[in-house]
Each structure stands twice: as structure tokens, then as C-alpha cells.
């Protein structure tokens, strides 16, 4: 669509009055409020208040205008506009362009870029540039450089060389974030902020160690308390002074390891809040604040860091290979669980990346399928990294939408199709979000604890979670991934694979859930540790033993699979087996071990107990896919979980999103061939129009279907 006529309208003295007249027909672009030539900090309240809500479904890209001549900007923005791109993420690596020398601020160019984008119908998410400090900063203030675990200082020339705990760096970060918020915090084209970029690298310098020791003192109060809870009498680890406590990341006392990770998480949160407060001091409340997280990345507790944000977002990269509906879908669901509401995909790959062992391109149509797959799981925005190939730098080979010559690459047309479809489907998806009958419980403490002491080198706690997620998702067609401390009564079924570290708060929440009629299934290795990563004084599952009417007598890391017989047919347990016992007459044995290592032979492998209208089940085995499918069918049958949509052919994923008066079903075909999907009832085809009773989906085909609530 050509927007030249709109630009002329808004260049005229009568632009404010004209806007009201044309707004009703401006369906393909965001609201374009009147714009004066003054800086954002002096814009009138009337202009700011004239901004309407951005489109409900946004397509975006990362744009780096500082890397290109200003004379090129409009050509890039024209191409974005034609592709239906509705927002750019901008500025997050531009500190040396925004402040080329200390106190010498050059903020005008970024405002011009934001305003130019806005005149093309494109909003901006402004990134604070603190992931890439300029050379003058780290040279003048060397204490701001982080220290590697081996004692070596990071140097300029890459990114994330800063020390996230250093007071001087925080002072400088607060300053640049605040100045940007003063300048752009009321710009009508700015809809949000991203703080920093992909938190990851931490520092091991002496000051950070001292701050960690202070954090421990605040948490534990006294050394006697710490020594008791960490059982430091083991190996004479007992501490008599706080400054004796070291930093350990892999082989230290389990209580020390977990405490360090918690300190890292709290420090990232305070690092983030330092900038968040600077932005909030000046920015309009309508501008959201987020940061781009990295899915299953285990560097910090994402629930803690997300607590102060307005929305969660993540960077969705496949790297080598192709779209796996369960891996990608579970990561979307994980991110949605950080705030228990819809999220954004702030970065995703346009075809290929540059950092995988083999940087293959996604197949034709796969990028579109991936975008709609994200939306089905609760994404309200999908943004591609990046717009145009940088001429130099570490990521020259990364996929883009436009080549270094400024002309579109082949994928551009597919992304333009996504843009048209997002615009068309946006109004129907507005106000909708996923809602699930099934929750899978996840804690970072449990994942860390198992990873530090796998006991079987192949035991991956995320793979364990996915072994439950995949068959349950196939049946229920929607799953939430949440912490065990959130309210759970909305769920018919709650599954906790590997809930290794079980706090008293979480245990009490689970007990109440079952007593209120919920159905709880504990997976292997659950309830082994307390909140300090110490062994529970009871056997597994610790504080849930009396509710279960049974316990784990012993656990075994397996070299050879152990056979299993019972409710789920004949199967084997791979990697891990737990010998269970029952202590209550109403605890039922669902499966037993066959002849194995002698200890397991004939012993219970899966037990369950009814508690009023609820139940608690313990699964001590890790079965193969066939066994897990049967277990999932049993779990959903006994808890009354029903599919959100109904049966679909293998390879077709159904993603429901619910609104006040209607439900939207997004169907994505990831099977190799064309699939015909009969609908359970007549629905509206959002992308093509009309009422349909079945849809034909080619490979990577997408259908967006809507029905009114009865």
C-alpha cells in the first residue's frame, strides 16, 4: 500500500483535524499522530494522548540505522512498509553513536530514525545500549570490565564485556537510559523499551564475591544457620567468617552452588531495575518495558528477572535443523509462564543463523509456519533479526531480509506474506490468549540441581520435561509451563517432571491443590531436595510422602534399561529407575519392574492414590515414547482433560487462543505432505474468508479459524 498521501496530510498545517477524518480508513498502518519538529521531551500532551493502541498483532525487525548513511533510511523503511513490518527494535547496540565521548550526547539521529519510521507506519521499541559499552568507557573506567572465572579481564572488541555488578557501570547505564527516556519517552511512535540484550555474562571479580557474601549474610542471617543448612561439617567446609565463602559454579557444596545462581538472578534483576527506574522516571506509562530472554537458557532464574517487567519476550532461534513443534512450543509456553500472559518474540531467524555448526536455511514456507506457531502459543509480536546484512562485524553471515546491497533476499516475499496475514488476522486475535487444562511445573533450582549431579551423564532435565510435554500436548492441544507456587486450581492436571528442589511453599501449594480435587503427577527425581539443595530428611518425595502413601526406597542410574509391566503394557525404563513402596492401603500400584538388577525385580515403579476427588501419582521410571504416550493417555483420562479442538492428523498442531466472546484456533501443518483437517463444527476462515467445515493444509500450511462462544 502506498502511504505517500498520508505523509502529505501530516505535513500540512491541518494535520490534527485531518487525522480524525482518515483514522477510520487507516486499516493497514498504525495511527500516525501529528508530529512537530521539537524534541520528544517538549511534545505537547495533546500529541502524546492522540496515540491509539498499536495493532494487536505486530511483525517487526531489528534495524540499525547507525550502520548506514541517513540518506539510505527511507529506502529501507519503504521496503519494511511494503512487507507489512509494523515495528523496529532500534538502538540496543548504539552506545558509541549515542555518546561517542563521555558527556557528548548525540541523541538527535535516533529520534530522526524513530520519526522516519513512524511516518512509514512503523513503531519503535527502543533498546538501551548497555550490552555493548563504548571503548572510551571501559578504557577510562577499567573496573567496569567483567572478570572471567579464570581471573582474566574481558576486553573491548566484542560485547557483554561489562561487569553487571559494578557500581560505576550501573551509574553510567542509568545515565544513558535516563537520557534516552527523556528524549524518546513521550515520542508517539515509541511503544516500548528493551533493556540491554540477552543477559548472560557475569563477573567473578573480588567486588562481586564480596557482594555475594553480603547477599548470603542477608539470606541466612548467621554463619551458624548457613553452616547448618549447607551441612558444611562435610569435608570441613565450615565457615567462621563470611569472607571465607568462595564462588563455585559446578563442583562446590550444593547449597553454595544454588545460592550463587540465586545471587546471579537477583543481581540481573537489580541491574535491570537500575535502568527500568531511569526509564520509568521519564517515559510515558503507555510504553512497555521488557528484555529479550533466551528460552531454556539456564544462566539465571527468568521468573525472578521477569518480575519487574511489563511483558516477557524471548529470542527464538532454531540454529541447525528445522522447526520442532515440541521444543519450540514448550519454549513459547515457558516464556508465557514468566508473567502468565502473552509475550513477544523479540528476535527470530530469517532463514538461517551464523553460529550453528551447520547454518542451514529453513525450508520455503517454514519461516511463515514458525511465526504462526509462535502466535498460536501466545506471541503478540514476531520480529526478525536482522533487517540488513552488516558490512562487517562478527555476524556477517547471519540471515537477513535485505542483503548488503539494500535489495530484498528471497525470504522477503515470505515475510511480506506474514505481514499481510498478521494485519488481516490481528483484529480477530486481539484480546485472545492461550488457556490450558494442563500445567507442567518447572523450577530453575530443580534443573540446576539435576544438571550439577546428573548421576547418569545422559540425564537431561529439560529432555525429561519434554518427554512429558510432547504426548500431553498431542492430547490436550494446550499446556502451561509454570512455577509450583502459582495458583493451580484452574488446572485439571498438574505434572511435575523432575521437581527435584521442592520448597515448603511449593509443597504446601501442591498438597492443597490435590485436597481441592486436583490431579498431581510427580515425575522421577521429584521431591529429593529442600530449598537449600540439601537432601530432604524424608525419602522422596519429601513433604509429599504422607499424601502419596508411598515413597522412593532407592534410586538407580541405569546402564541397561529395566523392563516394566502393568497399566501401560510392557515397556522399559531408560537411564533411571526408582524403587517405590506403599504405606497406605489405598495406594495403588500401576506398574512394576520385571527382572532387572535384582533390587528392582517385581517392585513398584508407578503408584497412585486417590484423595477425595483428587489424586497424587508418582512415576519412578523414564519410559520410551510409546510408554510415555500411554501414560499421558491415562493421565488425561483420569483427570478429565479433553482436547481443545478435537482429533487432527499427525503432524498438524492445534493452538487455541480464547477471547471474551470467541475462540481462535491456529492450525500449522508440519508433516511432509498435504493434510486434510475436518473441523469439529463450522468455523470462520480468518485468512481467506467464509465459513468452512474442513481445511486442506500443504506442508507448512497455516489456517486461522474463529468461532463465537455459545
Catalytic amino acids? 198, 347
Q: Is the dihedral of CA 360, 363, 368, 369 positive or negative?
A: negative
Going by the DSSP 8-state scheme, the letter that residue 255 receives in this structure is H
What span, in angstroms and rounded, lies between the C-alpha atoms of 534 and 503? 11
Collapse the DSSP code of 247 into the 3-class scheme (helix H, G, I; strand E, B; otherwise coil) and give the result.
coil
Q: Cell 533487517 belongs to which residue? A: 387
What span, in angstroms and rounded, lies between the C-alpha atoms of 29 and 23? 10
Q: Show the CA angle centred on residue 698, arms to residues 693 and 704, nearest 5°.
A: 50
- Is there a contact between 129 and 91 (Cβ–Cβ < 8 Å)? yes
Helix (H) or strand (E) holding 382: strand 379-384
Q: Which residues contact 324 (CB under 8 A, 6 or more apart)?
A: 318
- Is there a contact between 564 and 594 (Cβ–Cβ < 8 Å)? yes
Collapse the DSSP code of 684 into the 3-class scheme (helix H, G, I; strand E, B; otherwise coil) and give the result.
strand
What span, in angstroms and rounded, lies between the C-alpha atoms of 632 and 331? 20
Q: Cell 531408560 belongs to which residue? A: 574
Phi first, then psi, for residue 45 (nearest 5°) are: -60, -30
What span, in angstroms and rounded, lies between the C-alpha atoms of 76 and 56? 24
Q: Which residues contact 85 (CB under 8 A, 6 or more apart)?
A: 59, 60, 61, 122, 415, 419
Phi first, then psi, for residue 352 (nearest 5°) are: -145, 170
Residue 549: asked if its preceding bond is cis (omega within 30°), the reply is no
Collapse the DSSP code of 439 into the 3-class scheme (helix H, G, I; strand E, B; otherwise coil) and give the result.
strand
Q: Show the CA angle centred on residue 357, arms to residues 355 and 361, nearest 5°.
A: 75
What would the grid cell of residue 153 be?
579481564
Distance of CA 16 to the CA centre of its chain: 40
Question: Would you tell me how many other CB atoms lie within 10 Å of the CB of residue 599?
Answer: 13
What would the grid cell of residue 56 be?
494487536
Identify which of 698, 454, 692 has the alpha carbon closest to the alpha carbon of residue 575.
454
What span, in angstroms and rounded, lies between the C-alpha atoms of 170 and 160? 14
Helix (H) or strand (E) holding 184: helix 167-184
What would the grid cell of residue 568 be?
501401560
What would the grid cell of residue 636 be?
488425561
Helix (H) or strand (E) holding 289: strand 288-290
What span, in angstroms and rounded, lies between the C-alpha atoms of 682 and 696? 15
Amino acid at each position: 500500500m502506498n502511504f505517500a498521501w498520508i505523509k502529505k496530510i501530516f505535513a500540512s498545517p491541518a494535520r490534527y483535524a485531518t487525522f480524525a477524518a482518515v483514522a477510520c480508513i487507516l486499516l493497514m498502518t498504525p495511527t500516525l499522530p501529528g508530529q512537530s519538529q521539537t524534541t520528544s521531551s517538549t511534545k505537547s500532551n495533546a500529541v502524546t494522548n492522540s496515540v491509539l493502541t498499536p495493532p494487536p498483532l505486530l511483525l517487526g525487525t531489528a534495524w540499525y540505522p547507525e550502520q548506514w548513511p541517513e540518506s539510505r533510511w527511507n529506502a529501507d523503511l519503504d521496503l519494511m512498509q511494503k512487507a507489512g513490518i509494523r515495528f523496529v527494535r532500534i538502538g540496543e547496540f548504539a552506545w558509541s553513536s549515542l555518546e561517542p565521548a563521555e558527556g557528548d550526547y548525540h541523541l538527535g539521529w535516533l529520534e530522526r530514525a524513530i520519526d522516519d519510521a513512524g511516518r512509514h507506519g512503523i513503531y519503535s521499541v527502543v533498546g538501551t545500549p548497555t550490552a555493548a559499552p563504548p571503548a572510551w568507557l571501559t578504557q577510562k573506567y577499567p573496573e567496569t570490565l567483567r572478570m572471567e572465572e579464570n581471573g582474566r579481564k574481558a576486553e573491548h572488541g566484542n560485547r557483554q564485556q561489562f561487569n553487571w555488578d559494578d557500581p560505576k557501570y550501573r551509574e553510567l547505564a542509568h545515565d544513558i537510559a535516563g537520557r534516552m527516556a527523556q528524549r524518546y519517552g513521550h515520542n508517539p511512535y515509541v511503544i516500548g523499551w528493551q533493556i540491554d540484550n540477552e543477559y548472560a555474562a557475569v563477573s567473578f571479580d573480588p567486588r562481586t564475591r564480596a557482594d555475594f557474601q553480603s547477599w548470603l549474610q542477608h539470606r541466612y542471617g548467621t554463619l551458624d544457620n548457613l553452616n547448618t543448612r549447607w551441612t558444611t561439617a562435610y569435608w570441613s567446609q565450615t565457615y567462621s567468617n563470611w569472607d571465607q565463602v568462595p564462588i563455585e559454579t559446578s563442583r562446590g557444596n550444593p547449597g553454595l552452588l544454588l545460592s550463587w545462581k540465586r545471587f546471579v538472578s537477583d543481581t540481573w534483576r537489580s541491574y535491570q531495575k537500575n535502568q527500568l527506574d531511569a526509564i520509568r522516571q521519564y517515559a510515558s506509562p503507555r510504553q512497555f518495558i521488557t528484555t529479550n530472554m533466551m528460552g531454556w537458557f539456564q544462566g539465571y532464574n527468568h521468573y525472578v528477572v521477569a518480575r519487574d517487567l511489563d511483558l516477557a519476550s524471548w529470542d527464538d532461534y532454531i540454529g541447525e535443523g528445522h522447526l520442532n513443534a515440541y521444543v519450540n512450543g514448550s519454549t513459547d509456553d515457558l516464556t508465557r509462564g514468566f508473567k502468565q500472559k502473552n509475550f513477544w518474540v523479540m528476535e527470530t531467524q530469517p532463514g538461517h543463523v551464523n553460529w550453528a555448526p551447520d547454518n542451514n536455511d529453513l525450508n520455503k514456507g517454514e519461516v511463515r509456519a514458525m511465526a504462526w506457531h509462535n502466535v498460536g502459543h501466545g506471541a503478540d509480536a514476531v520480529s526478525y533479526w536482522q533487517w540488513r546484512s552488516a558490512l562487517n562485524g562478527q555476524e556477517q553471515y547471519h540471515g537477513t531480509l535485505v542483503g548488503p546491497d539494500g535489495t530484498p533476499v528471497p525470504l522477503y516475499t515470505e515475510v511480506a506474506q506474514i505481514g499481510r496475514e498478521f494485519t488481516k488476522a490481528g483484529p480477530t486475535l486481539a484480546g485472545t490468549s492461550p488457556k490450558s487444562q494442563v500445567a507442567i511445573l518447572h523450577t530453575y533450582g530443580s534443573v540446576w540441581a539435576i544438571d550439577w549431579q546428573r548421576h547418569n551423564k545422559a540425564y537431561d532435565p529439560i529432555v525429561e520435561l519434554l518427554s512429558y510435554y510432547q504426548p500431553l500436548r498431542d492430547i490436550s492441544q494446550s499446556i502451561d509451563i509454570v512455577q509450583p507456587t502459582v495458583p493451580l486450581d484452574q488446572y485439571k492436571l498438574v505434572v511435575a517432571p523432575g521437581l527435584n528442589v521442592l520448597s515448603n511453599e511449593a509443597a504446601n501449594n501442591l498438597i492443597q491443590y490435590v485436597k481441592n480435587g486436583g490431579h498431581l503427577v510427580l515425575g522421577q527425581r521429584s521431591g529429593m531436595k529442600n530449598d537449600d539443595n540439601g537432601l530432604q530428611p524424608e525419602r522422596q518425595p519429601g513433604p509429599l510422602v504422607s499424601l502419596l502413601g508411598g515413597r522412593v526406597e532407592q534410586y538407580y542410574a541405569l546402564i541397561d534399561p529395566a523392563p516394566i509391566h502393568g497399566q501401560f503394557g510392557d515397556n522399559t525404563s531408560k537411564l533411571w529407575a526408582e524403587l517405590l513402596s506403599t504405606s497406605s492401603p489405598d495406594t495403588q500400584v500401576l506398574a512394576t519392574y520385571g527382572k532387572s538388577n535384582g533390587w528392582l525385580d517385581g517392585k513398584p515403579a508407578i503408584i497412585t492414590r486417590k484423595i477425595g476427588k483428587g489424586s497424587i501419582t508418582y512415576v519412578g521410571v523414564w519410559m520410551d515414547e510409546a510408554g510415555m504416550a500411554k501414560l499421558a493417555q491415562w493421565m488425561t483420562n483420569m483427570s478429565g482433560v479433553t482436547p481443545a479442538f478435537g482429533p487432527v492428523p499427525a503432524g498438524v498442531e492445534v493452538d487455541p487462543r480464547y477471547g471474551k466472546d470467541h475462540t481462535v484456533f491456529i492450525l500449522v501443518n508440519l508433516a511432509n505432505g498435504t493434510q486434510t483437517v475436518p473441523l469439529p463444527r463450522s468455523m470462520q476462515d480468518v485468512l481467506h474468508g467464509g465459513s468452512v467445515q474442513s481445511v486442506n493444509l500443504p506442508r507448512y500450511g497455516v489456517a486461522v479459524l474463529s468461532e463465537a462462544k455459545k
